[in-house]
Amino acid sequence: MEKNFLISVRKQFEYYKMLGDKTVSQLDDDELFWQFNDSSNSISIIVKHLWGNMMSRWTDFLTSDGEKEWRKRDGEFDADIKTRTLLLEKWEEGWACLFAALDSVNEDNFDTVIYIRNQGHTIIEAVNRQLAHYSYHVGQIVFIGKMVKGDKWMSLSIPKGKSKDYNTEKFSKEKSRKHFTDDILSGKDEC
């Protein structure tokens, strides 16, 4: 069960990273820093927050509290990332930290209690907590991307009006056991 969970959850994280990657790739530099108003977050602010959370939660994942003393959460919402290059560095560093931590989990340490702000979690609970958090914020990134691109937005899922075609193609194939992201992450399919 541990191995199946870890494989499945890694694919889910890869899927959400891919959604963010594909959104950022559609945007001009200035669109990464656009805010609806002063109290809303830009994509760059959301990326900075995700980076801060990922670095804190996944550094020494099995051995230290996920809320590190060195984390400056409030500062994650300052709009001080000013270039695409820095934004992408933070994005990639956060995800690399997450994937390295997931790769460190095995059957020998799967029963480790993970603490976040002194609250104990099973590995499944800790991982699911972060999966839900990151999918929430990646959804915000995608939504902002759609707002700023308008009619120029390239769909990351089944395009409007194409559900029947998509389902017809899927049901034309033999039943098989695989993760829904297998074809998406390999570039063979849409979600």
Q: How far is CA 39 from CA 21, 78, 120, 143, in A?
A: 25, 11, 33, 16
Question: Whole-prediction pTM value?
Answer: 0.92
d(CA 169, CA 16): 24
H helices within the chain, ranges in order?
Answer: 2-26, 43-58, 84-103, 123-149, 163-171, 181-185
* CATH dotted code for 2-153: 1.20.120.450
The domain segmentation of the chain, as residue ranges, is 2-153, 157-191
Tell me the mean pLDDT per 10 residues along the chain, length 191: 90 97 97 95 98 98 97 96 97 98 95 97 98 98 97 91 87 83 69 55
Q: What is the pLDDT of residue 187?
A: 67
